[in-house]
Every structure is written in structure tokens, then in C-alpha cells.
Structure 1
Amino acid sequence: MIADLRIVPDDLAGEQVLALLQLHLDEMHKWSPACKVHAMPAERLREDDVSFFSAWDGERLAGCGAIKHLDEGHGELKSMRAAPEYRGKGVGKAILLHLLAVARERGYSRVSLETGRPQAFADAQRLYRAHGFTECPPFGDYVSDEFSMCMTREL
């Protein structure tokens, strides 16, 4: 774990953040058919129903994540991503714990997410399971199939 990791609200204007989001989108398209990519572009992450956060190790971007308001009791995790040089160093866990704290502050009773089923998503699935998420039926516009997996956690 990075000792001095700072997680802050972000307006998605910085070059490092936009580059990491582009990497995220590119990898999602590499690992899944285009119709199964649910990652949001920066324009969508800037909308009022989404709160976006960046994680910093000094001046270096370590990762990012967002929470989307679904309804008064339910939030959705979006755009969880560690920068390549920070993978496996606890950045994803720190962002996840931060987003869960935001969800609790908002009074959500549940947080859900959609992730991929293929092997490329195994690390993400392990992270979510390690923090109490379990597979659930699809929510919102998602469908469960060989590419998508929905997970949820009660708070």
C-alpha cells in the first residue's frame, strides 16, 4: 500500500487523468466486444449523477474511480482503474474503500458494479469479492452473459 496516497474529487481536466481513462477504455475494448463495454468516457463521468475521484502518489496519478447515483439507496462503482505502474500495490483497494465510504456518507444501503467475466478481469473480481461483493442479477440496463458480471454489496 502506498503510504501517502491522496484521493481527491477530480474534474477530469488533467492530462494524466484523461490518459488513464483512455487506457481504461482501450483495454475494455481489447478485452470485450464493443457492445459489452460499459466504461464511461470522460464527458459522461463529468455529469451531475457521477462523482469522480483521482488517487495521487505525490504528483503521479496512481488511479481513479467513480460512484454513480442510481437512487437514494443505491450507488454504482464506475471507472475503477489503477495506473499500470501501480497495479498490485493497493491502489485499487484504497479507491474502493474510499468509494464505499462516500456511499455510506450518502446513505446508500447498497453499492453495485458491472465487471467483465473473462480472465482479464480476474484481479478486479478478486478485489471486489475480498471486500464483500457477490455476484447478483443484472441491474439497470445490464444483462448477464459470457462477458458481463454484476456484483453488489449491502452496506
Structure 2
Amino acid sequence: MLRAGDAYALSLYPADSCYMLNLDELVAEGVTVFVARDAAGAALGMAALVNRGDGTGELKRLFVNEAGRGQGVATSVMDALEAAARAQNIHTLQLETGPKQLAAIALYEQRGYGHIDNFGPYVGDEFSVCMEKALA
């Protein structure tokens, strides 16, 4: 799943504009990984929640493979991630995606994420679109 997500991002954007957590970062303290699987146990999609410890978090690495697209996998993963964020007392969730990922941007907008100025490592990156949602 990680390799497929990496390959997809690198097919769209320059390597220095791909801000993917690596395996060590995914198992770090404050990071929760969500994986959606089919009935046979094969991974269909994933995302990671990075709890910054200050009431804010970042959604990272949302990716759904070809087999999972159009089946509500991204919605299920996002539902679980946002519920976990609330349980961790995260009040604001931010994310970064790319301008070529129109379906992802539409999904985030439908879920109540609004466009914000680029933050952190994404400042000044023309291939970054940053968004934010206040969690109730």
C-alpha cells in the first residue's frame, strides 16, 4: 500500500513536492495508521493521523488503490480517522494534497475542509494545496 501510494504521488508531482511519511515515521509516537481491508484481508486504502500534541493534527498518506476506488473506502477511512482525532482531543485537522488530485480535493470539501494558506513544510510549494477542518 505504501509503495503504491508513493508511486502514485511520484507519477503526479516532483519528488521534492511529495511529503510522504516513511515507515519509521508511521510507527512514531503520536501517529495512528488506518487501513481498510476487503473481506479476504487485502488492503484497499489507508491514511495516517499525526497528533501534534497541541490540539491539532494532520491527515497524511490517504490513498485508496484501484480495487478500492468508488466503493466508499476513502469515506470509511476518513470517518475512522476523524473519530480517532476527536477521541484524542484534536480540535483542528489539517491536510496537504496536490492540485492534480481533484477527486481528493472534492472529497475533502464535501467533508467540510476549507482551503487555507500552505503551512509548515508546504509553504511556497506550488504543488501543495492545504486544507483544514474544525472538528466538533
Q: 2:42 aligns with which of 60, 73, 87?
A: 60
Q: Which residue is 1:37 aligned to?
A: 18
SS at match of 1:107: coil
Q: Which residue is 2:119 aligned to?
A: 139
1:22 aligns with 2:13: no
Kindly state the Cα deviation for residue 56 of structure 1 after the two structures are TM-superposed: 1.4
Task: Tell whether the 8 Å contact from 1:72 to 1:107 is kept in structure 2 after alignment.
Answer: no
Q: Which residue is 1:74 aligned to?
A: 56
Inter-partner Cα distance in structure 1 for 2:57 and 2:20: 16
Q: Which residue is 1:16 aligned to?
A: none
SS at match of 1:39: coil
SS at match of 1:141: helix
Kindly state the Cα deviation for residue 144 of structure 1 after the two structures are TM-superposed: 4.7
Number of residue pairs the alignment of both structures matches: 134
1:85 aligns with 2:102: no
TM, length-normalised to structure 1: 0.82
Q: Which residue is 1:10 aligned to?
A: none
Inter-partner Cα distance in structure 2 for 1:77 and 1:103: 10
Inter-partner Cα distance in structure 1 for 2:24 and 2:6: 13
Letter in 2 for 1:72: D
SS at match of 2:86: helix
Inter-partner Cα distance in structure 2 for 1:43 and 1:84: 26
Runs of 5+ consecutive residues of structure 2 not aligned to the other structure: none
TM, length-normalised to structure 2: 0.92
Letter in 2 for 1:95: V
1:51 aligns with 2:32: yes
> Aligned-residue CA RMSD in angstroms?
1.2
Inter-partner Cα distance in structure 2 for 1:73 and 1:144: 25
SS at match of 2:48: strand
SS at match of 1:53: strand
The percentage of counterpart residues that share the same residue type is: 31
Kindly state the Cα deviation for residue 145 of structure 1 after the two structures are TM-superposed: 3.9
Kindly state the Cα deviation for residue 87 of structure 1 after the two structures are TM-superposed: 0.6
Inter-partner Cα distance in structure 2 for 1:60 and 1:23: 14
